[in-house]
Amino acid sequence: MRETQRHGGHKERANEISQRIIGAAIAVHRELGPGLLESAYETCLKYELKQAGLAVESQVPQPVSYKGMALECGYRLDVLVEDLVIVELKAVEALLPIHDAQLLTYLRLRNLWLGLLINFNVPILKHGIKRLVNG
């Protein structure tokens, strides 16, 4: 099956979910502000998303496969929403290209289309959000 066909049916739903995630992240940032650990933002974001009625998992194990061999390398997705959108959270001075690469790799390994990279360590959260797509 072609990649566009595989992801096509879920793009609209993933887009809608991503807007809800961004709204929840803004609510968390508005309440807490920058300067905390990533784990605090993760806990609060997960709470907000569950309150919004979304299925949320955090610290989801992500194995790596190499030539048919499963590698348990300890990779974990920060947040997975509705099994459609990966959210990688950061509390860093600046997002770097390696953060993009990490999220894109997770999307590829999970065969998902959309991910959000959210850096809470910014004065205005919209400056800390990146939307990345697989393919």
- What pLDDT was estimated at residue 31? 97
Relative to beta strand 76-81, strand 56-61 is antiparallel
Q: Residue 119 is inside which H or E element, if any?
A: strand 114-119
More confident site: 74 or 37: 37
**Tokens representing residue 8 in the block:** 């096509």
Q: Contact at 8 Å (CB) between 98 and 126?
A: no
**Mean pLDDT of the 12-20 span:** 95
Residue with token string 């959260």: 125
- What pLDDT was estimated at residue 71? 83
Kindly indicate the confidence band of residue 73, based on its pLDDT and cuts at 50, 70 and 90.
confident
- What pLDDT was estimated at residue 5? 40
Global confidence as pTM: 0.89
Output the average pLDDT for the chain.
91
Q: Residue 3 is inside which H or E element, if any?
A: helix 3-32
